[in-house]
Amino acid sequence: MGITRRSALIAAASSLLTVTAACGAPDNSGGSGGNSDGEVPDQPKKAVALNILDVAGNLQLTQGMIDEFVEKNPDVISRVTYSKSPAPELVGKIKAQQNADRVDIGLVLTGVDGLAAGIDQGLWLDLLPKFQSRLTGMSNYLAPAAAMQKLAGNAGVTVTYYPSGPLLEYLPATVATPPTSADQLLAYAKAHPGKVQYARPSNSGPGRTFLMGLPYILGDKDPKDPVNGWDKTWAYLKELNQYVDYYPSGTTETMKNLANGSTHVIASTTGWDINPRVLGTVPKEAKVTSLQGFHWVTDAHYAVIPKGASTDTQAAVLALLAFMLTPQQQAKAYDDGYFYPGPAVQGVNLSDAPQKSQDAIRDYGRPEYESLIANNPTEVPLDAKALVAAFDRWDREIGSGKVKQG
């Protein structure tokens, strides 16, 4: 399977949802397959053909869960169609369907970037607290996954979780002494122009995590406020920018550049470290390091339902999500380390995962991750409004003219 990829608090997110519900996309009542008004039944009147859009690479973790549900519940979902898209294209796709009063996408699987963009535009139905009693697995979230769920406000449901990064990845044969502080990273970039790289944050988990992790590493005034609290971060990124040739539009290209030697040090995460080595995109001998002052900036994938989806579609998706949040299904989220560890609920061990996942993590996982996860603070990402502001400023002041398609 390919590696098509892929974040403050509940009050801020809830406030934003209230504002955008009033001024965002219309709350369409038509949609394909029936009216979206009224009560949502426990089961659709007839099985629905469900169209799922993935903008986060989440299907790599969850498609097995979804396919099993469809196989076991043909009276709920008759068939499922999968499509994938880059996260920056999500808003345009959904708004076009809503404006045409024909919402054919019943479920979106998204990272924090797409979640935030959709909240900003008022695209998602509120699933909580109205349907929380149907989603009993949410009461069993891991503590950091529960914190990530607060970030979603009422719109999204956390389906997978990982501590993420920011980490730096390198090949020992190329970088004998990797940078272990922000100053050392900057010095390395200055001494090796074009050899330090991260992808555009709005379309890259490692790029986004690097952006949000720097305020902790640099000791900035307010790591949750990219507008007024990131003076050190923006100054650092501008200085680093002098030695960056270009920013790829997605993470995969940075991994390929690391493997072919055109870059030496790239932003990474636990999953982006493990999975490309499993797939052979990056040599197995690649190593990772963290920077002094490092905090984990956690990450999650969410399920959201666009406004305008029919009541039958909503009923089918809610039943599907309840199934996906059971421990048995969550064990599949270990996958090949793409979102390591992956499960969002408690009580799911690697020994519960499919044998293929157990083998991949045994051969390509890192024993040091256990202590790194246990011994470093975890922080939720920026809330929706702040994340959009951070992406916008980065695009204008850092990446302008330097973002290139792979």
* CA R_g for the chain: 21
Measured distance CA(270)–CA(288) in Å, rounded: 9
- Residues 183 and 404: their CA atoms lie apart, in Å, by 27
Q: Which residues pair with 354 in a beta bridge?
A: none
- What would the two tokens of residue 296 be? 């984990």
Residue 11: the pLDDT is 33
- CA–CA dist 145, 141 (Å, integer): 6
Torsion, Cα of 201, 202, 206, 208 (10° steps): 70
pLDDT of residue 25: 35
What pLDDT is attached to residue 87? 86
pLDDT score, position 328? 97
- Tokens at 219, concatenated: 């000791």
Question: What is the SS3 string spanning the chain?
Answer: CCCCCCCCCHHHHHHHHHHHHHHCCCCCCCCCCCCCCCCCCCCCCCCEEEEEEECCCCHHHHHHHHHHHHHHCCCCEEEEEEEECCHHHHHHHHHHHHHCCCCCCCEEEECHHHHHHHHHHCCECCCCCCCHHHCHHHHHECHHHHHHHHHCCCCCEEEEEEEEECEEEECCCCCCCCCCCHHHHHHHHHHCCCCEECCCHHHCHHHHHHHHHHHHHHCCCCCCCCCCCCHHHHHHHHHHHCCCCCEECCHHHHHHHHHHCCCCEEEECHHHHHHHHHHCCCCCCCEEECCCCCCEEEEEEEEECECCCCHHHHHHHHHHHHHHCCHHHHHHHHCCCCCCCECCECCCCHHHCCHHHHHHHHHHCCCHHHHHHHHCCEECCCCHHHHHHHHHHHHHHCCCCCEECC
Q: What is the pTM of this model?
A: 0.81
Report the pLDDT value the prediction gives residue 38, as an integer from 0 to 100. 62
- Spans in the chain with pLDDT lower than 70: 1-38, 406
What is d(CA 380, CA 298) in angstroms, rounded to the nearest whole number?
Answer: 6
Which pLDDT score, from 0 to 100, does residue 113 have? 84
Q: Which amino acid is at 76?
A: V
- Backbone φ and ψ of 21, nearest 5°: -65, -30
The pLDDT of residue 191: 98
